[in-house]
């Protein structure tokens, strides 16, 4: 009920005056009691205080205002089971622990981290052992950065302004930076094409990504915005392919537009920054998350595959059951559909192939670079980025995004292919060591029509929520999407906790 002072106009004034007159007429004992409602009475209060009243007025332990509000809002704790220990599952588990719930995390693999892993170390490997791809993030990945802070790994990223050297077939280098002047100087395009790229960027500010999911980003740029084929090949593909794990002529325009708007056109300071890992991916994600979860009281069980969800329990492959009140299903789309008795969302799979090469001399003068018109899309100086340069030569990682044909190329042939791509543009060198890693289902295929098939966190079961980079976060299948989905799913379980406690 509003105070009289809050009532507008003369009526409020009259109510206030009336209240004041009543207060002046009150007897002394009434005044004392009325004051006590607002604060504790001094020890030498009036003689009207009897023993009974004194007992009632004994002050309680003080509670800060923010604590009181938190106590009102926080739901009763529940036993939460998180199925899947990738970034989405780990993020959900951390969020549930923060809310005071009891958490058990179940992961089928031997390690946490999902698609973000470090390969098992072999004798003769340079330090550090290779990762299953060179996962990079952008400055706009705010939830991912928050997740790394939560697991004490914020210092495991090297942050730098976007400055990407792009090397063509003749070994000539031009640099992409997030400025109009840089684009006007981008020598892999004719001047007229550079101006057209700037015009396209201006027009993309006004596009609603949700309106263009039925066409490819390439078709959208060329047919709607008048972009040129050379610009698609030499500029847009360089940026879009690693972000979406698909080239422009296959990727959904909705995801392409969202990526450009968020990273390049948002107006947020340093949103386009490159965030490069300086530690092995497995250590700074799965291992660190596992330690943090256990330190906060979670039960973490690896090599534990969930084969079925029944009311009140997750059934394991060995027949055991893990009892819970609420569940987060944070696994790939097909497995999620199986556990939730849903149809396959048919999102497809897009691979990442990485070839790790140690040469007898330095080839790449930059920390990273992109190659034009090559299956070796991006190159990273792993030794420099991790602070472990080999005593001799250079340790490089070559990443190919969204080229399924490479999955069938034999290891030695693949190594030779990537070696020749590098030495053909950067000069001759002798290969000392190599290793190949392949992720056939690194991400879902973000093709046209994808948005309608990406499911949200809610499921048909009131105490089960869904998470994963593939779910409907509005983001491509990135580490940011994974973390966002996990946190959203965990917050939704607060409603479940309230219902269970009622």
**Mean pLDDT calculated for residue range 70-80:** 67
Q: CA angle, 126 as apex, 120 and 128 as ends, to 5°?
A: 60
Percent of the chain at pLDDT > 90 equals: 78
Minimum mean pLDDT range among 31-40, 385-394, 466-475, 493-502? 31-40
List the structure tokens of 67.
Answer: 């604590």
In this structure, are residues 356 and 435 in contact, taking their beta carbons and an 8 Å threshold? yes
What is the tens place of the pLDDT at every residue in 194-250? 999 999 999 999 999 999 999 999 999 999 999 999 999 999 999 899 999 999 999
DSSP 8-state code for residue 395: E
What is the tens place of the pLDDT at every residue in 306-359? 999 999 999 999 999 999 999 999 999 999 999 999 999 999 999 999 999 999
Which pLDDT value is given to residue 496?
72
Percent of the chain at pLDDT > 70 equals: 84
Please determine, for residue 58, whether its predicted confidence score (pLDDT) is greater than 70: no
CA pair distance 174, 298, nearest whole angstrom: 49
Q: Which of 421, 402, 418 is nearest to 410 (CA)?
A: 418
What is the tens place of the pLDDT at every residue in 6-15? 444 444 444 3
**Mean pLDDT calculated for residue range 69-96:** 84
Q: What is 78-114+278-348+447-501's CATH topology? A: FAD/NAD(P)-binding domain (3.50.50)
**Alpha carbon distance, N-terminus to C-terminus of the chain:** 27
Please determine, for residue 168, whether its predicted confidence score (pLDDT) is greater than 50: yes
Q: Report the mean per-residue pLDDT for the chain.
A: 87
């018109």: which residue's tokens?
373
List the structure tokens of 438.
Answer: 């392949």
Angle between helices 479-501 and 142-150 (to 10 degrees): 70
In the chain, how many H helices and how many E strands? 18, 18
φ, ψ of residue 431 in degrees (nearest 5): -85, 125
Give all strands of the β-sheet with 321-323 in edge-to-edge order. Answer: 306-310, 313-316, 321-323
C-alpha distance from residue 59 to each of 63, 70, 358, 381 (Å): 11, 21, 72, 65
In this structure, are residues 204 and 336 in contact, taking their beta carbons and an 8 Å threshold? no
């530690």: which residue's tokens?
279
Q: Which residue has the higher pLDDT, 55 or 439?
A: 439
Please determine, for residue 46, whether its predicted confidence score (pLDDT) is greater than 80: no
**Mean pLDDT calculated for residue range 18-35:** 40
CA pair distance 165, 178, nearest whole angstrom: 13
CA pair distance 157, 208, nearest whole angstrom: 32
Q: Where are the domain boundaries for CATH 3.50.50.60 in the chain? A: 78-114+278-348+447-501
Q: CA angle, 485 as apex, 484 and 489 as ends, to 5°?
A: 120
Which pLDDT value is given to residue 133?
77
Which pLDDT value is given to residue 412?
95
Which pLDDT value is given to residue 407?
94
CA pair distance 169, 454, nearest whole angstrom: 38
């500010």: which residue's tokens?
205
What is the tens place of the pLDDT at every residue in 116-159? 999 998 988 998 889 987 788 999 999 999 999 999 999 999 99
Please determine, for residue 498, whether its predicted confidence score (pLDDT) is greater than 50: yes
Please determine, for residue 292, whether its predicted confidence score (pLDDT) is greater than 60: yes
**Mean pLDDT calculated for residue range 103-121:** 95
pLDDT band at 502 (very low <50, low <70, confident <90, very high): low
CATH classification (class only), 350-443? alpha beta
Q: Where are the domain boundaries for CATH 3.90.660.10 in the chain? A: 350-443
Q: Which residue has the higher pLDDT, 70 or 116?
A: 116
CA pair distance 204, 261, nearest whole angstrom: 7
Which pLDDT value is given to residue 259?
96
Which pLDDT value is given to residue 501?
61
φ, ψ of residue 95 in degrees (nearest 5): -65, -40
List the structure tokens of 465.
Answer: 């929520």
Which pLDDT value is given to residue 446?
95
Q: Which helix (H) or strand (E) holds 379?
A: strand 378-381
**Mean pLDDT calculated for residue range 77-99:** 96
């700037």: which residue's tokens?
198
Which pLDDT value is given to residue 267?
84
In this structure, are residues 453 and 333 in contact, taking their beta carbons and an 8 Å threshold? no
CA pair distance 209, 197, nearest whole angstrom: 18
SS3 at position 415? helix
In this structure, are residues 103 and 93 in contact, taking their beta carbons and an 8 Å threshold? yes
C-alpha distance from residue 351 to each of 124, 160, 272 (Å): 27, 27, 24
In this structure, are residues 480 and 141 in contact, taking their beta carbons and an 8 Å threshold? yes
List the structure tokens of 408.
Answer: 């069938």
> For every residue of 481-500, which 3-state class applies, written as one string?
HHHHHHHHHHHHHHHHHHHH
């Amino acid at each position: 009920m509003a105070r009289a002072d809050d009532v507008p106009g003369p009526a409020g004034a009259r109510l206030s005056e009336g209240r004041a007159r009543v207060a002046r007429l009150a007897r002394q004992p009434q005044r004392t009691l009325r004051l006590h409602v607002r604060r504790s009475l001094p020890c030498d209060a009036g003689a009207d205080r009897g023993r009974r009243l004194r007992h009632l007025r004994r002050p309680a332990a003080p509670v800060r205002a923010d604590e009181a509000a938190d106590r009102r809002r926080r739901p009763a704790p529940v036993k939460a089971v998180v199925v899947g220990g990738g970034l989405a599952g780990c993020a959900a588990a951390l969020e549930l622990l923060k809310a005071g719930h009891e958490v058990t995390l179940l992961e089928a693999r031997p390690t946490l981290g999902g698609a973000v892993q470090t390969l098992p170390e072999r004798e003769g490997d340079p330090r550090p052992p290779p990762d299953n791809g060179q996962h990079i993030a952008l400055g706009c990945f705010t939830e991912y950065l928050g997740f790394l802070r939560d697991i004490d790994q914020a210092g495991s990223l090297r942050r730098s302004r976007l400055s990407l050297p792009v090397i063509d077939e003749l070994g000539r280098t031009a640099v992409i930076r997030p400025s109009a002047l840089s684009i006007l100087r981008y020598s892999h395009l004719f001047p007229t094409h550079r101006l057209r790229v700037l015009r396209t960027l201006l027009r993309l500010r006004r596009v609603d990504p949700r309106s263009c999911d039925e066409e490819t980003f390439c078709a959208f740029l060329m047919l709607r915005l008048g972009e040129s084929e050379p610009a698609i090949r030499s500029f847009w593909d360089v940026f879009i392919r690693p972000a979406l794990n698909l080239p422009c002529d296959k990727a959904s325009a909705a995801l392409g537009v969202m990526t450009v708007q968020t990273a390049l056109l948002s107006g947020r300071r340093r949103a386009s920054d490159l965030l490069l890992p300086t530690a092995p991916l497995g250590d700074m994600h799965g291992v660190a998350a596992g330690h943090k979860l256990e330190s906060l009281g979670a039960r973490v069980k690896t090599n534990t595959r969930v084969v079925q969800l029944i009311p009140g329990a997750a059934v394991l492959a060995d027949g055991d059951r893990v009892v819970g009140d609420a569940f987060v299903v944070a696994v790939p789309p097909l497995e999620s559909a199986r556990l939730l008795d849903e149809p396959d969302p048919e999102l497809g799979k897009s691979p990442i192939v990485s070839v790790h090469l140690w040469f007898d001399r330095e080839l790449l003068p930059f920390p990273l670079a992109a190659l034009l018109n090559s299956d070796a899309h991006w190159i990273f100086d792993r030794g420099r980025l991790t602070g472990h340069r080999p005593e001799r030569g250079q340790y490089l990682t070559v990443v190919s995004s969204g080229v399924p044909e490479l999955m069938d190329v034999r290891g030695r042939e693949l190594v030779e292919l990537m070696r020749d791509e590098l030495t053909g543009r950067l000069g001759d060198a002798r290969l000392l060591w190599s290793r190949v890693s392949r992720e056939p289902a690194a991400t879902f295929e973000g093709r046209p029509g994808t948005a309608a098939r990406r499911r949200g966190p809610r499921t048909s079961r009131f105490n089960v929520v869904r998470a994963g980079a593939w779910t409907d976060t509005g983001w491509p299948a990135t580490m940011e999407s994974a973390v966002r989905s996990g946190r959203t799913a965990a917050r939704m379980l607060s409603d479940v906790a309230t219902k269970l406690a009622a």
